[in-house]
Structure 1
């Protein structure tokens, strides 16, 4: 998938899955986390960049008034139709970006992160939700036939790898939250014992969560100019420097 035509099939299939009972439950659990995180976002512009052709219930919790939804979706909820890898936005203009499972399903997730780094202001924040491959959700991808269907054929990037990518781009990871330790079955969400499994997972094995939420801040280092060494050496070259041994010898001869 390298163009808008390729994205159309991807977007349609992905939104069809998130419209199922299981997909709705995933978004509902994630929205609770995003609502709390949205309260900590400040500035002038909040951008949601994704492939979900539906508004998620979290934006209104942010103090940021100017909120824009962008992506390849042609619907009444998207203010900006664009490829995630090629954002028609000026650099250093956006205060916060939310990527709801965007990196799981775009063509080039690293290019999307580069674009996010470019448009974010210094100290701007990015919030990323993604599926964890090292979980019951990741294991489900090994089931016969699963790898041919969404969401199971997505990238499913380990959050430790995302930490590395963000670090290389100059981000500091502020926090990583994990959720959904129950298996990816509809009945698992309805049975009472599985919420208890979620609580135990948060405490004892957070690395095995089905979904993670990462918050990272864009850092811009301030460098102090250092005078080139060659200038110092050029000045010293004009001065006759006498070895210490000779200086001592000259004094004794006098």
Structure 2
């Protein structure tokens, strides 16, 4: 079994936890607020795992899922879409489940139309919950939680190289809790909601919105023909008055 396949299975099972279900509900609320402001002809939800459709609030007519149980089945590294053809792309852990995340991001940038919108859900390696995965790796225990692939700072560098700009960032699933009605679980849930409301960068999930930027076209400036001032030569003055002519005749 490859590392990417194992990572996909772990993420698939990982979302059965109550804390991740609440985080996914927060992600859906973010999409419900953002998608009505996105317009175009084509929307694609990309994932290497079975993921529920999250684009119900979109006003775009043609919406497809490119995932194992979707309308289109394809690898994230090689998307079966034309360049500059997708107006909105929602990527659910596509960078976390791929062995070549940079290639996935290049494909996303290729298929996005100018000013196209990218919504990216990924794992945060700087979260509090990621410490358990680090301890499991050091003690050679079996991996039970997915490993984070890319940090937000590294993604910002890749966005700049690919001509994209991050416009929004949110963190979710700061603390794990069991979902029971115990006092500890309720307290952890309240702390998690407080951390999410105050945008603390320690959540297990990050949710990014980015825009594909297009360089401005250098239009040729039209030459403005301004009238140039021409110097007109002025000759000697000619005496034409009658009085002056009579004076000249008398002198003769």
With the shorter chain as reference, the TM-score category is 0.7 to 0.9
Other structure's SS at 1:102 match = coil
TM-score (norm 2): 0.74
Q: 1:189 to 1:105 in 2, by over 3 A?
A: farther
| Structure 1 CA distance for aligned equivalents of residues 11 and 197 of structure 2 | 31
The 5 A counterparts of 1:3-22 are 10-22=7-19
**Alignment equivalent of 1:139, drawn from 115, 131, 148:** 131
In the alignment, structure 1 residue 193 sits paired with structure 2 residue 187: yes
Rg larger in structure = 2
- Return the TM-score normalized by structure 1: 0.74
Change (3 A) 1:93 1:137: same
* Residue of structure 2 in register with 1:24 after alignment: 21
Aligned to 2:147: 153
CA shift for structure 1 position 196: 2.9
Deviation at 1:173, TM superposition (A): 1.1
Give unmatched runs, 5+ long, in structure 2: 221-252
1:208 and 1:188 mapped to 2: Cα distance?
23
Higher RCO, Cα 8 Å, sep 6+: 2
- The residue aligned with 1:174 is 167
The answer to whether the Cα contact below 8 Å between 2:124 and 2:148 also exists between their aligned partners in 1 is no
Q: How many residues align?
A: 216
Q: 1:211 aligns with which of 201, 205, 216?
A: 205
When you count helix as a share of all residues, which structure comes out higher? Answer: 1
Name the counterpart of 1:246.
Answer: none
Structure 1 unmatched runs, 5+: 227-254
Matched, 1:38 2:32: no
Paired residue secondary structure (1:81): coil
Farther-moved stretch of structure 1 (165-174 vs 187-196) = 187-196
Query: Counterparts of 1:223-238 in structure 2 under 5 Å?
Result: 223-224=217-218
Output the CA distance in 2 between the equivalents of 1:188 and 1:203: 22
Query: How big is the shift at 1:148?
Result: 4.4
**Structure 2 counterpart of 1:62:** 58
Q: 1:209 to 1:192 in 2, by over 3 A?
A: same
Residues 62 and 224 of structure 1, relative CA distance in 2, 3 Å threshold = same
Query: CA 1:161/1:7 → structure 2, altered by over 3 Å: closer, same or farther?
Result: closer
Hey, which bits of structure 1, 4+ residues long, moved more than 6 A? none
Structure 1 SS opposite 2:13: helix
